[in-house]
Amino acid sequence: MVSNTDLGFLALHSVALKRKKQQKKKRRWSKEWYKMRNRLTHEHLLNFLRDSEPEDYRNFLKMDQESFDYLLELVRPDIEKKDTNMREAISASQILSITLRYLASGMDLEDLKFTCAIAPQTLEFIIMETCSAITKALKENIQWAASYWLTKLKNPEDIDLLVFHYRMWTENTSAGN
C-alpha cells in the first residue's frame, strides 16, 4: 500500500518535472544579433569609406568603386534575392562585398560573420554562389593556365584528367554556357 507521504512525494516530483520541461530552453532558428543585420553590417562602413576615404574603400575590397559597380551589374541577375514574408533578403551589393572581402582577406567564415552579421552556413552558400556568378560573368576574361598545371602534375595519369577538364572547359565556354 502507498502511504500519503509517498503520494505527496510523487506529486511534487511530477510537478518539478513538468516545470523543468517548461523551463527547457527553446531552440532558436537565428541568433538575435543576426536579425539586426541592417544595423550591424559592414555596409555602413563601406558607404562611409566610398564617400570619404576612397583609398580605404579600395583596400577593404581590393577594387575601386567603379570596378565594384561594374562587377555588381554583371552578377546582379545571378545573386539578387527577393524578400519573403519571413525575412528581408540580403542585398546584391552586400552579397558581392561579402564575397570580395572574404577573397581579399582570407578570413574564415566564423570571423567574417562578425563583419556582416550573417550566419557562417549562409555565408558559405553566398560565397560559393557569388564566385560562380563572377566566373560566369567574366569567363571570357579568365585565362586557363595550362602550362602552370602541367608543371604541377605528379602522375602521368593526371594528364588525361587535365585534358578532359580542359576540353570540358573549352566546350562550355565556346557554347556560351
- Structural domain spans, the chain: 32-141, 143-177
Q: How confident is the model at residue 95, as a pLDDT?
A: 93
pLDDT tens-digit map of 70-84: 999 999 999 999 988
Other CB atoms closer than 10 Å to residue 66's CB: what's the count?
Answer: 8
Among 13-17, 38-42, 158-162, the range of highest mean pLDDT: 13-17
Instruction: Return the amino acid letter for 30.
Output: S
Q: What are the helix (H) ranges across the chain?
A: 4-23, 37-40, 43-52, 54-61, 65-79, 92-105, 109-116, 120-138, 146-152, 157-174
What pLDDT is recorded for position 177? 47
Q: Which residue has the cell 564617400?
A: 51
Q: pTM above 0.85?
A: no
Rounded to whole angstroms, the Cα distance separating 80 from 96 reads 10
pLDDT reported for residue 27: 57
| Residue 9, CA atoms < 13 Å, CB-side half-sphere | 5
Phi-psi region of 27 (alpha: psi -120 to 50; beta: other; left: phi over 0): beta
> pLDDT per residue over 50-104, tens digit each?
888 889 888 888 889 899 999 999 999 999 999 888 778 889 999 999 998 888 8
Express each pLDDT in 23-57 by its tens digit: 655 555 555 545 555 665 667 678 778 888 889 88
